[in-house]
Chain A
C-alpha cells in the first residue's frame, strides 16, 4: 500500500519557483482556549519574542477543528498551519484532544498524499504554563515553512495577477 501511494505522489509544492526576496510566510495558528491560547498569552506577558508570521485563531478545543479549516487555510491564505492543544490527558473537555490527534494524523496523510509537504501542517501540545515552549514551537514552524517557500495555489494574489 505504502509503495502505491508513493508512486502516485504528485507534488503541489513548486520549489523551482523562487520566492520573492521580501517574501514572508503567513501561518495560521489554531489554538484551544484553555491550554495553548492561554500559553500564547503567557508568552506575551513574559515578553518572549517570536517571529511575527503567525495569525492566531481561538477555538474552544482542538476537537472543534475541522480538517476543512486546514485545507481552506492552505488553499486561500496560509502557507502553513499550526494546531495546538492541551497535553494528552489534560484536555479541559476530558477527551477532545485525543480525537483531534487522531483526526490530524489522518489529515496529514491525506494532505501529503495530495501533494503538500507534511510540514505545512503541524500539531503541538502547549499547556497554559508553557509560554517559552509556545515561542519555540512558533519559531520552529515558521522556520520550516520558510524553507518550504510560498505555497503556489489558488491564492488571492494569484487571482489578482
Chain B
C-alpha cells in the first residue's frame, strides 16, 4: 500500500496567518495512506528540504505531498529534494495552499483551512496514483539548417559554424546577401552596406563548416527537435557550378535583356546572370522564363562562349535531403506595393518611386552611376519630396503596424540626396519621427541641420502633374494649413511586409504565424527567438520589422540557442508525455487528427502472438510529444495515457474532495 508523506508549509506568516496549519496536518493524518505528516516554517528552505529527505528514508515513503505555494513556484525545488533522497522526483505532488487558499481567503480562516485540507487530500489522492517517471533522452543530429541568406541568415550561419557545428544554408535566389546587399549606406553611421556585408558573404562561402546551397528552397521538414530531416529543392540553374569559373563571358554575350530585380527593374540584366557583381557564389544562372534556348530552342550563345563547358540546358531540378537538428528561419521581408495610393498617381506618374528604387539609384554600383534621376526624362531632380508611412500605420489601405525602419532610412536618404546633388532640397512629409535606437535621434537631428530639409508634419492628400513637375498637396498640421510643394521626384517610404510565402512556409515547418504573415515567436518578451515548435528559431524581419543591428542581434541569439541545444550528445526531455497501450488501441486515428504537433503516427502490429494478420495502431513519437493530452481525451478505447495526468490521477482528485 502507498505510504504518503505530507509536508505542510507555514510560508512564514503567508499561509499560517490565514490557514490553521496544525489543523490541516491533523485532518491529513486521518487519511489511511498518510503515514507521516508534519508542518514546518519554510519547506523550501534547506532545513525544510532536509526534513523531507530524512522522512523519506525513515518512514519508507512511496510518495510525497508538499502543501505550500504554487507548483509553478517550487515544484522543481521539491523534486530535487526527492532525487537527493534517492526517490523518483515524479512521485511528488504539490498542494497549492498559498495562492489558492491563504492569500485569497484572508477573511475566513475556517473556510480557508477547510479548503487547504481538501487541497491536501486531493493531492494525496493523486499522489497515490503517481508512477515513477524517467527523463527521456533524445539523440541529436548536430547540424543546423538556416533558411534564408540575408544578413540574418549569414550571421546565424557564421556564429553557429564558428562553434564548429555544421550548417546548411539554403538561399532561394542565386546569391546570398538579401536586401542588405541592395542598400547603399546604412544608418546611423553611413558606412557602406556592401563594405560591411560582402566580407561576411565571402566568409560564408569559404567556411569549412558551412554548406551553402544557393538557388534552392526547403520544401519539406519532418521529424522533431534534434532529429529533423529536410528535403531541399535545388532549382535548375542550367550552369554546372562545379566547373563554372565565374568568368562572365556568358552573360556578356547573352542577347536577351530582362528587367533587373537587383536594381528594382530600373535597368536590364541578361537571361543568364549573376544578380550583382559581388554575388556569392559568383556563378551565373539561366532565367528559364526568358532564355530563348530553353523557350524556343534557339540561341545557345552562352554554351558556345563558355570555355569550360559549364552550360547544361538539360539540367533538371534536384531534390536533396539533409539530416539536421535545428532550424533557423530567416526569410526576411518584402516591401508593400503602394498601388492602393491612387490619389498619389502611383503607376500613372513615372517620377514617383519607392525608397528602395531611390536607394538603388544613389548606390555607387547602381543603375544610374550613383545619381538620383527622374525616370521620366533622366534629369537630376532638385526638389525631392519624401513621404513616410506609405502603407504603414494605415488601417484603411495598408497595415496597422509601424514598419520601424522608414523614419531612419528616409533621414539617410535626405543625407544621400544632399551628398549627391548639392543644390537639391528635400521635403519630408511625416506622421511622427520614430528614432528609438543607439545614435538614431542624434542622427536625425544632425541630418535636419546639415541638409536643411523641410520637415512637414502631415499627410499628403493628392499628387498631380503640372507640366513636367509633380505638385504634392498635403497638410502641414503644425501650422494647420494646406501646403503644396513643387517636386521633381517623389519617394515613397513603403511599408515592410512579411514575404508572401511565409504562411506556406510556416505550415510546412509546423510553426505559427500572425495575421500579417510574420512568423510567431514562442513568447513576445521572454522567448523572442524560439518558436512554439522546439528546435525552430527565428531571426530577422521574418518575425517582425527590424533594423540591421536588431536583426544581427537576433541572429546571434538564434546561434546561441542552437549551440545550447547541441551542447550534449542527447537532449533531456520532460517525461510527462502520452503513451499508447497498443493492446487497447483500435486504430481509429482520432488522436492522429487532434495532435497539434504531428507526434502521432500509425504502425502495423500483428493481431496476436505469431499472427500474420496485421492491425493498425497509433504510436507516439516521444521526441515530438509536448504533453498537452489532447489525444488522451479523444481516445475512445482509453488506450492513451498522459504521464503525470492520467485518468486515474485526475479522477482520484475529483472523488477525494
| A interface residues (Cβ-Cβ under 8 A, vs B) | 24, 26, 28, 33, 37-38, 40-41, 43-45, 47-50, 52, 55-61, 63-66, 68-69, 72-73, 76-78, 92-96, 99, 103, 135
A135–B628 alpha-carbon span in the complex (Å)? 25
B 363-392 binary contact with A (CB < 8 Å = 1; else 0): 000000000000000000000000000000
| Residues of chain A lying within 8 A (CB to CB) of residue B629 | 59-61, 63-64
CB proximity of A92 to chain B, nearest CB, Å: 8
With a CB–CB cut-off of 8 A, which chain B residues contact A78?
654, 657
Name which residue of chain A comes closest to B122, CB basis.
Answer: A55
User: Is B512 an interface residue when CB atoms closer than 8 A count as contact?
Assistant: yes
**Closest CB in chain B relative to A80 CB, distance in Å:** 12
Q: Which of B72, B104, B594, B647 is close to A47, meaning CB atoms less than 8 Å apart?
A: B104
Residue pairs across A and B with Cβ atoms less than 8 A apart, 21 shown, are A28-B654, A37-B72, A41-B96, A41-B99, A44-B70, A45-B103, A50-B105, A52-B101, A52-B105, A52-B108, A59-B650, A64-B628, A66-B632, A77-B656, A78-B654, A78-B657, A93-B626, A93-B630, A94-B512, A94-B532, A103-B633
Determine whether the beta carbon of B103 is less than 8 Å from that of A55. Answer: no
Indicate whether A57 sits within 8 Å of B633 (C-beta atoms), given known contacts A38-B72, A94-B532.
Answer: no
Cβ of B111 to closest chain A Cβ, rounded Å: 4
Q: Is the CB of B118 within 8 A of A55?
A: yes
Chain B residues contacting A33 (CB-CB under 8 Å) are 72
Q: Contact at B632–A44, with CB atoms within 8 Å? A: no
Answer whether residue B557 sits at the interface, using C-beta atoms and an 8 A cutoff.
Answer: no
Within 8 Å by CB of A77, from B99, B108, B655, lies B655
Given A47-B103, A95-B594, 18 other A-B residues pairs in contact with their CB atoms under 8 A: A40-B99, A48-B104, A49-B106, A49-B107, A52-B108, A52-B112, A56-B119, A58-B71, A63-B629, A64-B629, A64-B642, A65-B633, A66-B633, A76-B654, A96-B628, A99-B594, A99-B634, A103-B633
Q: Is the CB of B70 within 8 A of A41?
A: yes
| CB <8 Å contact, A45 and B99 | yes
Q: B655: which A residues are within 8 A, CB to CB?
A: 72, 76-77
Q: For chain B residues 218-246, which have a beta carbon within 8 Å of chain A?
A: none
Q: Which residue of chain B has its CB nearest to the CB of A128?
A: B72
Chain A CB within 10 A, most for which of B108, B626, B628, B647: B628
Contacts of B627 in A (CB 8 A): 60
In the complex, what residues of B have CB within 8 A of residue A77's CB? 654-657
Q: Please, how many angstroms separate the alpha-carbon atoms of A55 and B104 in the complex?
A: 13
Q: Which residues of B contact A37 (CB under 8 A)?
A: 72
Shortest distance from the beta carbon of B629 to any chain A beta carbon, whole Å: 3
The distance in angstroms between the C-alpha atoms of A72 and B657, with both chains bound, is 12
Q: Which 5 A-B pairs have the closest CB atoms?
A: A44-B99, A64-B629, A93-B628, A52-B111, A63-B630
- CB-CB under 8 A from B114, the residues of chain A are 52
Q: How far is the CA of A33 from the CA of B73 in the complex (A)?
A: 12
| List of A residues within 8 angstroms of B597 by Cβ | 94
Q: With the chains together, A69 CA to B376 CA distance in Å?
A: 73
A19 to chain B, nearest CB (A): 17
Instruction: Say whether B25 faces chain A, with CB atoms less than 8 Å apart.
Output: no
The interface residues of chain A lying within 8 Å CB-to-CB of B71 are: 58
Closest chain B residue, CB of each to CB of A73: B654
Which of B108, B119, B576, B634 is the one whose CB lies under 8 Å from A60?
A: B576
Smallest beta-carbon distance A127→chain B, Å: 13
Contact partner, B653, options A24, A45, A57, Cβ 8 Å: A57
**B79 at interface by CB-CB < 8 Å:** no
Q: Which residues of A contact B115 (CB under 8 A)?
A: 52, 55
Contact of A44 among B103, B634, B653, B657 (CB under 8 A): B103
Please, how many angstroms separate the alpha-carbon atoms of A78 and B122 in the complex? 13
Q: Which residues of A contact B119 (CB under 8 A)?
A: 55-56
Q: Is B651 an interface residue (CB 8 A)?
A: yes
Q: Find the B residue at minimum CB distance from A93.
A: B628
Q: Which residues of chain B are near A92, meaning CB under 8 Å? A: 532, 628
Q: Which residues of A contact B626 (CB under 8 A)?
A: 93
Give bound CA distance, A61 to B596, whole Å.
Answer: 12
Which of A56, A60, A94, A96 is close to B645, meaning CB atoms less than 8 Å apart?
A60
Contacts of B632 in A (CB 8 A): 64, 66
**Which listed residue, B106, B532, B651, touches A72 by the CB 8 Å rule?**
B651
Whether A41 lies near B645 (C-beta < 8 A) is no
Determine how close the nearest CB of chain A comes to the CB of B657; give it in whole angstroms: 4
CB closest residue in chain A, given B101: A52
Residues B630 and A96 in contact, CB atoms below 8 Å apart: yes
| B98 at the A interface (CB under 8 A) | yes
Q: Mark B622-639, 1 if CB is under 8 A from A, else 0.
A: 000011111011100000
> Which A-chain residue is minimally distant from B126 (CB atoms)?
A57
Which chain A residue lies CB-closest to B656? A77
In the assembled complex, the Cα of A9 lies from the Cα of B125 at a distance in Å of 36
- The residue from A40, A57, A93, A103 contacting B654, defined by CB atoms under 8 A apart: A57
B473 sits at the interface (CB 8 A):
no
* B112 proximity list for chain A (CB < 8 A): 52
Give Cα distance in the complex from A29 to B336, angstroms: 48
Q: CB of B393 within 8 A of chain A?
A: no
- Measured CB to CB, the nearest residue on chain B to A58 is B71
Select which of B96, B106, B512 is within 8 A of A56 by beta carbon.
Answer: B96
List the B side residues contacting A61 at CB < 8 Å: 628-630
* B525–chain A nearest beta-carbon distance, Å: 12
B100 at the interface (CB under 8 A from A): yes
Which B residues lie within 8 Å of A38 (CB)? Answer: 72
